[in-house]
Amino acid sequence: MITVTPWIKAAVGLVYPRNCQFCETPLDEAERGVICGVCLGRVKFIAPPRCEKCSLPFMGAISDTFQCGYCRDKKFAFDRTVCACRNEELVLDCVHRLKYGRQMYFAQHLTDWLVGATRRQIDWPMVDVIVPVPLHPRKKRHRGFNQAEVLAEALGEAFGVRVDRRGLRRVKDTVTQTALDATARAHNLRDAFVASGVAAFAGKRVVLVDDVFTTGATLDACAKVLRVAGAERITVAAVARGV
């Protein structure tokens, strides 16, 4: 029998904290991740009614599926979007701490939320391939990982669907989208993505994965390339929806 010494426990704690990262409450050994149940209760999950195209939540009493005015004007290249929760407060912080702080233990919560939402809303036996939104190689080297790939791999493992990390590539190292409006974002992403071949996704039913849906510009740019490469149906899956 192997004895876990106190210094080994301390070393593991440095890598994987056992206090809630938002309120410092000690976590029970059975709790997954790094956020306590009380803080997780602050997550605002997206439930109907919501826009079928972009997953924007709606506060009215609509019972049928609908598209918001924003999507009717934009005419996105993807078919529909599934987002797990609003990109607010705790969720926003989790995304930023994973993405920019390299605090990888937040991935557990982000993947749990995304897997849960897509389990209910996507008919996975009808999906051929999962495609993460790619980072430019320079940015991926700097960050050390692509958060969309982390999420895509979790979906692939959960639902037994192949993840294609090479079929879609980012060839233009664009400036950050954060401070740009929707029109500027679309212009910034022009010719930023390419497919690995002319018919790389011929007849494929694709789930396109990213961490956050904000204006949809990045996902639309990717979807347009997938369409040209033959994709039959494209469903976007993202952890959070900007509202």
Q: Which domains does the chain have, with CATH numbers?
A: 44-177+184-241 (3.40.50.2020)
Distance CA 119, CA 190 (A): 33
pTM: predicted TM-score of the whole model, two decimal places: 0.88
What parts of the chain have a pLDDT lower than 70?
1-16, 60-64, 175-182
Query: Alpha-carbon torsion 74, 125, 200, 162, what sign?
Result: positive
Supply the pLDDT for residue 91. 97
Number of Cα atoms under 13 Å in the Cβ half of residue 60: 9
Supply the pLDDT for residue 175. 62
